[in-house]
């Protein structure tokens, strides 16, 4: 696939998606105070960010509202309390997991909602259920994306088949999701080429959501972008589950479009996210996450390990070997 | 340039160089205790590392021995205290800065020294002085490399001219050194291609030494490697000046040659480097280093800033703008 753009010019197709509240919410069960969310919204507007993901539209049948902060559920009224009628250029996104969202009830017609984009998260074996959600949301007037998780574990033929099905749906954007932080840049570029080949055929966009288990989230994001990907997920301070995500401040500093500015995000880091870390919210590159990334496996054992405060990495590496091979 | 190797097979030309004591010594003025250095030596042997850099051969006329730990000077006797007659496969390296080494006096004939490789560090404007050192060391029987620092600031024509001069010298290996952590993977690949083109002509090797200001040290190292580079610098836990280096544990986990093992390095992290961090030795990715990397400038202002314990990143970013543009 031909390289798109170069290191000095502007790519008009680029869209930066701030996923801090959604992926970062996995670190603190979505207990963000309104001041933080409001400050982040305003900073994203100033920074030229294109989309801000507020959280999940999680099913209240499956999850108890008392156990989580409100951004697990993203009631339209709660979003409106932050953004009002949102007269800014920053679009609002939420994530809806296949099988864990009462989309027919909880996703209301777009004309009555502050939300612009519904991001539908699926594994490769639940594509038909995802298509049902895509069509429901599209009919209600939303832009949609399909975020195929754990793609480092999927085989190429299955990915092609899934994308061909999705190409024929109403979805606007295909997303490469490296849930395990296992992809190397060479693999990210190769996946980007496959996604873009099918996306071009069906006039869809392609995005990437990377994890930082091997300190490659930023590298994979810009390498996929250089090939053809245009929707780029990032989070402030890299906040996100386990090793976290592509840091928004690295991405904004890299992009050449003068509308993107890193400084408003620096303020959020110094005023908010560093304090969250000091208060014990945990995320970011660490040896246990590196190991699950190298093993191309779910970060679950690493997350438990880090929570326990253990630092016997050598022993953990042996335990992990047993977990994976048992 | 054709891609060398793939993600599954072994490249016989690869050499892993552990630069922990040398680059990490810049974080603690080389005050490492002998137990650490000895443990690291043994771990590197077990991990299959090819070279271990012990420190600098710094001039005792310029630097006072009382102000630094011994690895700033790397007396042959001090190295021998760690490695004995070094009957292992791990080769010993030291760095010698152009203009800051009394090489005629302090670098003794190879037959009387435990050192195998002298790494000569130079800026692009001191190549003739570097060649003088190369020839002196080569005549004494050492393998040599030339480490051209701050290459992100050099222009391509100067790099080509320098490499043509060096190609005609006795040096064994050309090194790409991203002192400012400013290179993006695309640029690392482009530089690798230039270095390798000239290296192939003169039968030299090519190496890379990356810094982690933009979380790209590992990515740039493996991307340069995939193009053609074979000598790969890394440090345990990424320990090194400012944002640090390519973490050795990431690199060893990536390489497919079964002789490389990550586990012995995990032990060094849990037993030593994490404790150094707890004791106040500072290195690793942080916002101020990110900013000097994005600005493609020396990390000096960021190092002072971090030492002062400041976290007003927004203000620092404005100060940096003024420092660079004044």
Residue B7 in this model has a pLDDT that exceeds 90: no
B257-292 pLDDT, tens digit per residue, is 999 999 999 999 999 999 999 999 999 999 999 999
Burial B215-225 (b: 16+ CB within 10 A, else e): bbbbbbbbbbb
A56-75 pLDDT, tens digit per residue, is 999 999 999 999 999 999 99
pLDDT (0 to 100) of residue A5: 79
User: Which residues of chain B from 53 to 112 reach within 8 Å of chain A, CB to CB?
Assistant: none
Share of chain B above pLDDT 70, in %: 99
Nearest CA in chain A to B215: A215
Cα of B207 to nearest chain A Cα, Å? 19
Nearest CA in chain B to A217: B215
pLDDT band at residue B233 using 50, 70 and 90 as cut-offs: very high
CB contact under 8 A, A219 and B215: yes
Cα of B260 to nearest chain A Cα, Å? 14
Cα of A283 to nearest chain B Cα, Å? 14
A12-42 pLDDT, tens digit per residue, is 999 999 999 999 999 999 999 999 999 999 9
Residue A1 in this model has a pLDDT that exceeds 60: no
Minimum-distance CB partner of B314 among A212, A247, A266: A266
The residue-averaged pLDDT of B172-179 equals: 98
pLDDT band at residue A232 using 50, 70 and 90 as cut-offs: very high
Q: Does B319 touch chain A (CB under 8 A)?
A: no
* Main-chain dihedrals φ then ψ at residue A118, nearest 5 degrees: -105, 120
- B-chain CB neighbours of A223 within 8 Å are 185-186, 219
Look up tokens 């190429």; give the residue: A156
pLDDT band at residue B3 using 50, 70 and 90 as cut-offs: low
pLDDT (0 to 100) of residue A325: 84
A187-220 pLDDT, tens digit per residue, is 999 999 999 999 999 999 999 999 999 999 999 9
User: Which residues of chain A from 196 to 215 reach within 8 Å of chain B, CB to CB?
Assistant: 212, 214-215
CA atoms lying within 13 Å on the CB side of residue B116: 16
Average pLDDT, chain B: 96
CB contact under 8 A, B274 and A311: yes
Look up tokens 């992009």; give the residue: A255
Mapped onto helix, strand or coil, the DSSP state of residue A280 is coil
Three state DSSP letters for chain A:
CCCCCCCCCCCCCCEEEECHHHHHHHHHCCCCCHHHHHHHHHHHHHHCCCEEEEEECCCCCCCCHHHCCHHHCCCHHHHHHHHCCCCCCCEEEEEEECCCCCHHHHCCCHHHCCCCEEEEEECHHHHHHHHHHHHHHHHCCCEEEEEECCHHHCCHHHHHHHHHHHHCCCCCEEEEECCCCCCCHHHHHHHHHHHHHHHHHHCCEEEEECECCCCCHHHHHHHHHHHCCCEEEEEHHHCCCCCCECEHHHHHHHCCCCCCCCHHHHHHHHHHHHHHHHCCCCCCCCHHHHHHHHCCCCCHHHHHHHHCCCCCHHHHHHHHHHHHHC
CB contact under 8 A, B216 and A219: yes
Q: Does B267 touch chain A (CB under 8 A)?
A: yes
- The vertex-B89 CA angle with B83 and B91, nearest 5°, equals 60
User: Which residues of chain A from 270 to 299 reach within 8 Å of chain B, CB to CB?
Assistant: 270, 274, 285, 287, 290-291, 294
CB contact under 8 A, A185 and B223: yes
pLDDT (0 to 100) of residue B2: 55
Q: Does A250 touch chain B (CB under 8 A)?
A: yes
Nearest CA in chain A to B212: A215
Minimum-distance CB partner of A274 among B269, B311, B314: B311
Closest CA to B314 of A15, A260, A245, A43: A43
Minimum-distance CB partner of A263 among B185, B220, B314: B314
Is the CB of residue A181 less than 8 Å from the CB of residue A155? no
DSSP H helical segments within chain B, as ranges? 20-28, 34-47, 76-83, 103-106, 127-139, 156-167, 185-202, 217-227, 248-254, 263-268, 274-278, 287-294, 300-307, 313-325
B128-172 pLDDT, tens digit per residue, is 999 999 999 999 999 999 999 999 999 999 999 999 999 999 999
Query: Which site among A219, A254, A284 would you substitute to test the B interface, given the most B Cβ atoms closer than 10 Å to its Cβ?
Result: A219
CB contact under 8 A, A222 and B247: no
pLDDT (0 to 100) of residue A268: 98
As given in the structure block, the two tokens for residue A92 are 């609002």
As given in the structure block, the two tokens for residue B50 are 């090819």
Cα of B97 to nearest chain A Cα, Å? 30
Minimum-distance CB partner of A184 among B7, B270, B313: B7
d(CA A173, CA A208): 10
Q: Does B231 touch chain A (CB under 8 A)?
A: no
d(CA A137, CA A157): 28
Q: Is B4 exposed, middle or buried (0-12, 13-18, 19+ CB in 10 A)?
A: middle
d(CA B241, CA B303): 8
Instruction: For chains A and B, count residue pairs whose Cβ atoms are closer than 8 Å.
Output: 104
pTM attached to this predicted model:
0.97
pLDDT (0 to 100) of residue A8: 84
Crossing angle, helix A185-202 and helix B217-227, to 10 degrees?
80
* Main-chain dihedrals φ then ψ at residue A239, nearest 5 degrees: -60, 125
d(CA B74, CA B71): 5
Contacts of A308 (CB under 8 A, 6+ apart): none
Cα of A72 to nearest chain B Cα, Å? 29
As given in the structure block, the two tokens for residue A324 are 């994976």
Crossing angle, helix A217-227 and helix B185-202, to 10 degrees?
80
Closest CA to B44 of B281, B234, B289: B234
């Amino acid at each position: 696939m031909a390289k798109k753009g170069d290191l000095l010019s502007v790519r008009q197709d680029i869209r930066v998606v701030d996923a801090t509240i959604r992926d970062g919410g996995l670190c603190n069960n979505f207990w963000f105070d309104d001041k933080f969310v409001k400050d982040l919204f305003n900073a994203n507007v100033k920074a030229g960010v294109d989309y801000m993901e507020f959280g999940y539209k999680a099913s209240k049948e499956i999850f108890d509202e008392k156990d989580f902060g409100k951004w697990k559920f993203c009631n339209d009224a709660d979003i409106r309390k932050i953004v009002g009628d949102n007269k800014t250029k920053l679009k609002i996104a939420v994530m809806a997991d296949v099988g864990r969202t009462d989309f027919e009830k909880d996703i209301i017609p777009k004309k009555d909602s502050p939300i612009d984009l519904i991001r539908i998260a699926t594994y490769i074996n639940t594509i038909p259920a995802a298509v049902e959600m895509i069509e429901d949301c599209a009919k209600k007037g939303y832009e949609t994306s399909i975020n195929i998780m754990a793609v480092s574990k999927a085989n190429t033929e299955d990915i092609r088949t899934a994308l061909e099905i999705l190409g024929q749906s109403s979805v606007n954007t295909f997303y490469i999701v490296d849930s395990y932080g296992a992809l190397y840049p060479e693999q990210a570029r190769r996946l980007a080429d496959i996604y873009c080949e099918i996306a071009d055929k069906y006039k869809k966009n392609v995005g990437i959501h990377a994890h930082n288990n091997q300190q490659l989230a930023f590298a994979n994001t810009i390498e996929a972008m250089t090939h053809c990907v245009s929707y780029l997920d990032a989070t402030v301070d890299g906040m996100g589950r386990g090793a976290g995500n592509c840091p928004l401040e690295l991405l904004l500093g890299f992009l050449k479009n003068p509308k993107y500015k890193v400084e408003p995000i620096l303020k959020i880091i110094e005023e908010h996210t560093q304090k969250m870390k000091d208060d014990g919210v945990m995320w970011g590159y660490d040896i246990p996450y590196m190991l699950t990334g190298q093993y191309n496996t779910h970060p679950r054992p690493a997350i438990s390990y880090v929570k326990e405060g253990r630092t016997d990495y050598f022993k953990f590496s042996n335990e992990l070997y047993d977990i994976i091979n048992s």
